[in-house]
Structure 1
Amino acid sequence: MHLAYLRDYHEALVIELARTRPAIERGTVAEATGLTPQAVSKVLARLVQEGVIAPAGVRRPALGKPAAVYRLVPESRWAVGAHVTRRALRLVLVDLAGQVHASAATPLPADFSPAQLLAELTAGVAALSAGRTLTGVGIGMIGPLDQARGTVRDAHRLRHWHDVPLAALAGEALGLPVVLDKDVTAGVTAEAWRRGASFRDAALIMVESGLGAGLWLGGAVHRGTHTNAGEFGHTVVQLDGPACVCGRRGCLEAVHDAAADPAAAAAVLGTGVVNLLQTLDLGHVVLAGADLLRHGEIYRAAVAEAVRTQVPRADWLTVEVSLTGLGTDAIAAGAAMQVLNARYGLPAPSVG
């Protein structure tokens, strides 16, 4: 195995531990990671030199030698996350711990072009990150898209986005590493960062000028064979239903959008969520998106009621239904976390 890979992997192990604990020391790091105490000492020394962690005093046990204590320095590394919707560009500034420090939203022209988006993105990133060195920029974008190639493929309801290599174009415009992913996949990544190991099989359902699902299966993001998983809104729930922007009829998104009021729309979404649960046996459903959050409690209650009444043996197949704690920043924050994870996180290939 390549020595540079091992070095980065060992550093990622220690950073992950420091990100989830208030303080670490050599012995506890060795125990938690399986690294030798000597290897841990070398990694700690490198990370201190790089400013990623810092000494935080000494622990003096009743028995044994004093132990040096270290803490993560969240403000040592920064990333900007972008959420591209059909109406606006949302940006957030996130530190190495995943904390959002600043956010901004800019309206986008109707049916905006790649050039228009790049102009707003470049200006917004410069304004939000002034005085800070960025690790990179993450973009959560409307699908369909090919995440592996960084290419947007005919984004729904946007005419100018046929096979646009957005990751490469944004990287050139910004002069920074860029990670492109579907909006919902970025969002479920943010939830996984915040919730930890118990968030193992889950979906983030987003309603915002469209409807999609980010999937977290077996403790890892699921993108599918073509990295386009998540087109949940384009599953048919009514064979003779209204026409959908994707070209089919009766898609969940179209039926939801045609509902008479928020309560009726939430009931439609609840049925769609139950279909997803019957397919994937999830333990968590997180609801997000600006359109949904405007009526957040109505949606949460309706989805929870659908789970309770429509899932067979709901007493056994229990599901936690909640609203995202990140509000309308969820997608952008997740996109920024993907950038930080790409450089400082553990290798975590998607399950599909």
Structure 2
Amino acid sequence: MSGPTDGIGGAGANLPVLRGHNTALVLELLRQATVGDGPGVSRAELAERTGLTPQAVSKIVARLRADGLADEAGRTPSTGGKPRTLLRLVRTARYAVGVHLDRDELTTVLVDLAGEPVTARTVPFDLGAPPETLLSAVATRVRDVVAGVPAADVLGAGVAAPGPLDHARGVLHRVTGFPGWDGYPLRDALADRLSLPVVLDKDTNTAALAVQAARPDSTASFAYLHLATGLGAGLVLGGTLYRGARTGAGEFGHQTVELAGPLCGCGNRGCLEALCLVALRRRDAAGAARLLGVGAANLVALLDIDHVVLGGRAVLAAPDVYTRHVAATLALRAGHPVPVSVAPDAPDAPRLVAVGAARLALRGFARAGGQP
């Protein structure tokens, strides 16, 4: 991909894969022990929770410490035996960038190695602008949030955009309302412009990752429902983000709920997204919430999920209204109790999508065995 460069950064089957997988397990547990005021985690706990041998854990920890990614954080209180040494990530050792390309806003964040936001910016933007305008805007905003951070310490960028898109190939498809992006290789274009590794995913998927990172039960199944300029879902099933073979999972807003309903930007009639947006234009948050509840009940019936999490600008403008009406609709339609919550319990809720996108870049670093 040719084009100007803005110089943000620098240019289970085999043993290397297994090493990367094992290091990723340890890094994730260290992250969990580092966020907030976490006291840290011992080598013995790492071995118990990963299923790795103590020797394997010690080798991984030694490598992470030698690379400046982890350090000791004190000792456990003595209970008669030898106190255990606690370990935490060195937050400032590395950083990742998250970018949220919404239809009318551009948000960029910088997160530390624990995945917590350090700097964030949001500016108005038009997703219908030409590709060159988009690339230049993203490059400018990424430069803003990484200012003062050594280029070698920036691991990469995660980019979240409205779907549909192809996560594996990094290509946009016919984004609802913006069909001109169909087939555009956004990941590679941005990687070329930023001189950074870039990963692309749907906005609802990255938000679901951020919500999952803040939840204690890593095996739970939940749906993250995002209502803003559009409506979509991020699905975590059995603790794993579910994208589908073509990144098509989670196009929640385009389920038909009214055959003769209003025309949707996707070209069909009666889509849940179109009905919710009509309600929002009428400033009928309760009506939009009841519609959202109907869609959530369909998901619960189809996937037997444990929890529904709500987010997006529309929800955050009236969180109590959405929680109450979605929960009431689910109580009537679902066959079992389903908790409903709003995303502010996840890191930096108004910028949740961008924070989750940055975590994609951190995940890539972890899966590479902690190597840039």
| TM-score normalized with structure 2 length | 0.87
> In the superposition, relative to structure 1, how do residues 219 and 104 fare at CA in structure 2: closer, same or farther (>3 Å)?
same
The DSSP-based 3-state class of the residue aligned with 2:16 is helix
The DSSP-based 3-state class of the residue aligned with 1:196 is coil
- 1:158-190 deviation per Cα after TM superposition (whole angstroms, max 9, x unaligned): 143020011100110101111100000111011
Find the counterpart in structure 2 of residue 18 from structure 1. Answer: 30
Runs of 4 or more above 6 Å deviation: none
Match of residue 109, structure 1, among 126, 149, 162? 126
How far did 1:64 drift? Answer: 4.3
The DSSP-based 3-state class of the residue aligned with 2:322 is helix
The DSSP-based 3-state class of the residue aligned with 1:258 is helix
Which region of structure 1 is more displaced relative to structure 2, 55-64 or 282-291?
Answer: 55-64
**Contact 1:15–1:345 (Cα < 8 Å) also in 2:** no
Which region of structure 1 is more displaced relative to structure 2, 265-274 or 233-242?
Answer: 265-274
CA distance in 2, matches of 1:173, 1:182: 20
Say whether 1:42 aligns with 2:59.
yes
How far did 1:269 drift? Answer: 1.4
Aligned length: 343
Structure 1 residue identity aligned to 2:352: A
How far did 1:71 drift? Answer: 1.7
CA distance in 1, matches of 2:365, 2:97: 14
Find the counterpart in structure 1 of residue 143 from structure 2. Answer: 126
- 1:132-163 deviation per Cα after TM superposition (whole angstroms, max 9, x unaligned): 22111001101110111100011111143020
How far did 1:65 drift? Answer: 4.2
Say whether 1:301 aligns with 2:317.
no
> In the superposition, relative to structure 1, how do residues 86 and 59 fare at CA in structure 2: closer, same or farther (>3 Å)?
closer
How far did 1:268 drift? Answer: 1.4
**Contact 1:146–1:227 (Cα < 8 Å) also in 2:** yes
> In the superposition, relative to structure 1, how do residues 66 and 207 fare at CA in structure 2: closer, same or farther (>3 Å)?
closer
Match of residue 155, structure 2, among 126, 129, 135? 135
Structure 1 residue identity aligned to 2:162: I
Say whether 1:7 aligns with 2:7.
no
- 1:295-340 deviation per Cα after TM superposition (whole angstroms, max 9, x unaligned): 222111110110112224xxxx121111101322111111111110
How far did 1:197 drift? Answer: 2.3
- Counting aligned pairs with the same residue, the percent is 41
CA distance in 2, matches of 1:84, 1:59: 44
CA distance in 2, matches of 1:128, 1:110: 21
CA distance in 1, matches of 2:295, 2:227: 12
The DSSP-based 3-state class of the residue aligned with 1:111 is coil
The DSSP-based 3-state class of the residue aligned with 1:94 is strand
- 1:210-267 deviation per Cα after TM superposition (whole angstroms, max 9, x unaligned): 1111111111011112112111111000011111111111110111122242221221
What stretches of structure 1 of length at least 5 have no aligned partner?
A: 348-352
Structure 2 residue identity aligned to 1:338: L
**Contact 1:201–1:283 (Cα < 8 Å) also in 2:** yes
The DSSP-based 3-state class of the residue aligned with 1:56 is strand
**Contact 1:112–1:160 (Cα < 8 Å) also in 2:** no
What stretches of structure 2 of length at least 5 have no aligned partner?
A: 1-12, 34-38
| TM-score normalized with structure 1 length | 0.92
CA distance in 1, matches of 2:251, 2:46: 40
Which region of structure 1 is more displaced relative to structure 2, 195-204 or 126-135?
Answer: 195-204
